[in-house]
């Protein structure tokens, strides 16, 4: 007799199980074929021992509803939720998600801490995902390395299985605290309601571990956590090679005992990305167009990693930016209007079709100052930046526009959805970016006419989108 779940079984007359790819305390993960849309997906199926309990089925359904609201490049997409009843009356409850290819952060950290630039980019991506969840009133409650996947397109936050609404009680029906002890904020031990600040504390623990290889307060139980918090010395990031002081300040501010004193997830994302901008003069110019441009100096050579430290495949994070000379990344936005750069970028629209025009209505006196010096026409420039670097730069620009009121919230969500679809298409195999880039530029042009983006900011977005066509795939 075959077990209830086995390769070949069809769930909800749609999802054909292929093979089991993971298991946890509450669920098993199957690779499956969606026979309606003809695509491979991941099915998170509630463990049979728990499926008969309506409370646990409700938890799975809540995860699906919470995560389905989050359309973001660094959150795992949820496609569907379903329940099936077998002839014997047993219930199978499952969530259908995108199938990710990559490596769990937890596994990566068994090798030791990340280089600080990779850890900071990872932290910014997770913080940005949390900022979107918090804006929708959702608290994750279990940000740990086991719930972050490293993929070709960056970090992905997984498992909203114990997510809840802001202000909801933070204990289950038996009075137990949800989460993983070493990552749980101190106030949660006292039963304080779920708040975004509790996720920010967990983010601080995650960043501390990525930078140092250890959590600030090691604990496997709630009693151990209480004792560690009572006796432990304040965490420190001293000794992390090359770590900017501002990164240490941001991380430690996330770990402060007072929830009200912690920064928001959006502030963490912006602050961490700011520490990466010196290696990327184009992003710095787009995010601060009224300040003088920094002097362009050749990038310092990056020492090669030892062979024993190389992993294949590994996600390319912001370290790719450091490998390019600063002047090579500078795009058309760095040159005065009407004065073309010495190297032409590929067109982002079909041959013979003009790119969509974005209204030129930037207020007088706010245009970017002239470049401090032009390279000679014969000077060799480095190759284009990677697609991941350019996409992360554009994502950060969208976030900054949302914070500054330059982009309406629904428009920012729409743009990020388009960007996510573009990077996902490349992640699944060779793809022609001409069509997706053109559609994204057209969307910006349309939204500025509708009043969803300010004209000046639309020009900066259009410049960043244009760089996608020239990115290295």
Q: Is the peptide bond before 306 cis (omega within 30 degrees of 0)?
A: no
Answer yes or no: is 397 within a domain: yes
Contacts with 242 (C-beta within 8 Å, 6 or more apart), sequence order: 116
Domain count, the chain: 3
CA-CA distance, 128 to 403, in Å (whole number)?
A: 12
How confident is the model over 345-401, as pLDDT tens digits? 333 443 344 445 444 444 443 433 433 443 434 333 445 577 788 888 898 899 888
How confident is the model over 304-354, as pLDDT tens digits? 444 334 333 333 333 333 333 333 333 333 233 333 333 333 334 433 444
**Widest CA span in the chain:** 78
CA-CA distance, 203 to 214, in Å (whole number)?
A: 14
Q: Please check whether residues 107 and 94 belong to one and the same domain.
A: no
CA distances from 290 to 58, 104, 293, 369 (A): 51, 40, 9, 7
CA distances from 178 to 142, 161, 182, 198, 233 (A): 8, 10, 12, 12, 25
From the number of C-beta atoms within 10 Å of its C-beta (0-12, 13-18, 19+), residue 235 rates as middle
From the number of C-beta atoms within 10 Å of its C-beta (0-12, 13-18, 19+), residue 19 rates as exposed
Q: Please check whether residues 81 and 184 belong to one and the same domain.
A: no
Task: Give the single-character DSSP code of 86.
Answer: -
| Closest residue by Cα to residue 64 from 94, 35, 37 | 94
Q: Please check whether residues 175 and 256 belong to one and the same domain.
A: yes
How confident is the model over 13-37, as pLDDT tens digits? 999 999 998 776 667 889 999 999 9
Encode 338-367: b = buried (16+ Cβ within 10 Å), e = exposed: eeebeeeeebbbeeeeebbebeeebeeeee
Work out the pLDDT band at 164, boundaries 50, 70, 90. low
CA-CA distance, 237 to 243, in Å (whole number)?
A: 8
Q: Please check whether residues 106 and 136 belong to one and the same domain.
A: yes
From the number of C-beta atoms within 10 Å of its C-beta (0-12, 13-18, 19+), residue 410 rates as exposed
Q: Which CATH number goes with the domain that contains 84?
A: 3.30.200.20
Q: Please check whether residues 190 and 324 belong to one and the same domain.
A: no
Percent of the chain with pLDDT over 70: 69
CA end-to-end distance (rounded Å), the chain: 48
Instruction: Taking residues 33-57, report their average pLDDT.
Output: 84
Residue 449 or residue 173, greater confidence: 449
Picking from 221, 244, 274, the residue at the C-terminal end of a domain is 274
Question: Among this protein's residues, is 142 annotated catalytic?
Answer: yes
Picking from 75, 98, 121, the residue at the C-terminal end of a domain is 98
Answer yes or no: is 258 within a domain: yes
Active-site annotation holder among 128, 142, 199, 280: 142
How confident is the model over 267-292, as pLDDT tens digits? 999 999 998 864 444 444 444 433 33
In residues, how long is the chain?
Answer: 473
Q: Which two tokens stand for residue 342?
A: 């010495």
Q: Please check whether residues 300 and 397 belong to one and the same domain.
A: yes
CA-CA distance, 30 to 18, in Å (whole number)?
A: 7
| Closest residue by Cα to residue 184 from 212, 153, 222, 236 | 222
341: helix, strand or coil:
coil
Q: Which two tokens stand for residue 66?
A: 């919470």
Answer yes or no: is 5 within a domain: no
Cα-based torsion angle of the residue sequence 198, 203, 205, 211 in order, rounded to the nearest 10 degrees: -170
Q: Please check whether residues 446 and 310 belong to one and the same domain.
A: yes
Work out the pLDDT band at 2, boundaries 50, 70, 90. low
Picking from 36, 65, 98, the residue at the C-terminal end of a domain is 98
Q: Which CATH number goes with the domain that contains 194?
A: 1.10.510.10
Instruction: Taking residues 467-471, report their average pLDDT.
Output: 78
Backbone phi, psi, residue 386, to 5°: -70, 155
Q: Please check whether residues 123 and 203 belong to one and the same domain.
A: yes
Range of the domain at 230: 102-274
| Closest residue by Cα to residue 19 from 27, 28, 30 | 30
Answer yes or no: is 151 within a domain: yes
| Closest residue by Cα to residue 3 from 99, 92, 96, 93 | 92
Instruction: Taking residues 37-54, report their average pLDDT.
Output: 83
Answer yes or no: is 4 within a domain: no
How confident is the model over 63-121, as pLDDT tens digits? 677 777 778 889 888 888 888 888 877 788 888 988 888 899 999 999 999 999 999 99
| Closest residue by Cα to residue 280 from 246, 319, 236, 251 | 319
């Amino acid at each position: 007799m075959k077990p209830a779940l086995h390769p070949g079984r069809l769930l909800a007359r749609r999802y054909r199980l292929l093979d089991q790819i993971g298991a946890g305390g509450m669920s098993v993960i199957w690779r499956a074929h969606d026979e309606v849309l003809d695509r491979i997906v991941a099915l998170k199926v509630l463990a049979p021992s728990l499926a008969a309990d309506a409370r646990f089925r409700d938890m799975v359904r809540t995860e699906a509803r919470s995560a389905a609201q989050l359309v973001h490049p660094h959150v795992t997409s949820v496609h569907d939720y379903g329940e099936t009843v077998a002839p014997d009356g047993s219930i199978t409850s499952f969530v259908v998600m995108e199938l990710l290819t990559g490596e769990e952060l937890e596994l990566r950290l068994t090798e030791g801490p990340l280089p600080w630039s990779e850890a900071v980019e990872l932290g910014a991506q997770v913080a940005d995902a949390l900022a979107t969840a918090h804006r929708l009133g959702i608290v994750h409650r279990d940000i740990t390395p086991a719930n972050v996947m490293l993929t070709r397109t960056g970090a992905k936050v997984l498992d909203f299985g114990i997510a809840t609404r802001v202000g909801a009680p933070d204990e289950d029906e038996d009075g137990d605290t949800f989460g993983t002890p070493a990552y749980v904020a101190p106030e949660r031990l006292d039963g304080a309601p779920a708040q975004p600040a509790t996720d920010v504390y967990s983010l601080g623990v995650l960043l501390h571990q990525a930078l140092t290889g250890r959590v600030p307060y090691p604990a496997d139980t709630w009693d151990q956590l209480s004792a560690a918090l009572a006796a432990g010395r304040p965490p420190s990031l001293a000794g992390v090679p090359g770590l900017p002081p501002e990164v240490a300040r941001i991380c430690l501010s996330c770990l402060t005992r007072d929830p009200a004193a912690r920064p928001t997830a959006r502030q963490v994302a912006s602050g961490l990305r700011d520490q990466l901008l010196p290696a990327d003069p184009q992003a710095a110019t787009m995010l601060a167009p009224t300040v003088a441009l920094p002097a362009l100096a050749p990038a310092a050579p990056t020492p090669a990693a030892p062979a024993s430290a190389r992993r294949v495949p590994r996600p390319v994070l912001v370290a790719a930016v450091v490998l390019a000379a600063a002047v090579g990344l500078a795009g058309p936005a760095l040159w005065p209007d009407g004065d073309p750069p010495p190297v032409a970028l590929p067109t982002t629209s079909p041959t013979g079709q003009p790119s969509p025009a974005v209204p030129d209505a930037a207020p007088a006196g706010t245009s970017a100052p002239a470049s401090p010096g032009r390279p000679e026409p014969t000077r060799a420039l480095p190759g284009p930046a990677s697609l991941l670097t350019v996409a992360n730069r554009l994502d950060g620009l969208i976030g900054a526009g949302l914070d500054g009121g330059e982009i309406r919230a629904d428009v920012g969500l729409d743009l990020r959805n388009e960007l996510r679809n573009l990077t996902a298409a490349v992640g699944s195999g060779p793809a022609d970016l001409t069509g997706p880039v053109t559609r994204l530029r057209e969307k910006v042009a349309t939204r500025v006419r509708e009043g969803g983006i300010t004209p000046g900011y639309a020009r900066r977005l259009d410049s960043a989108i244009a760089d996608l066509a020239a990115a290295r795939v």
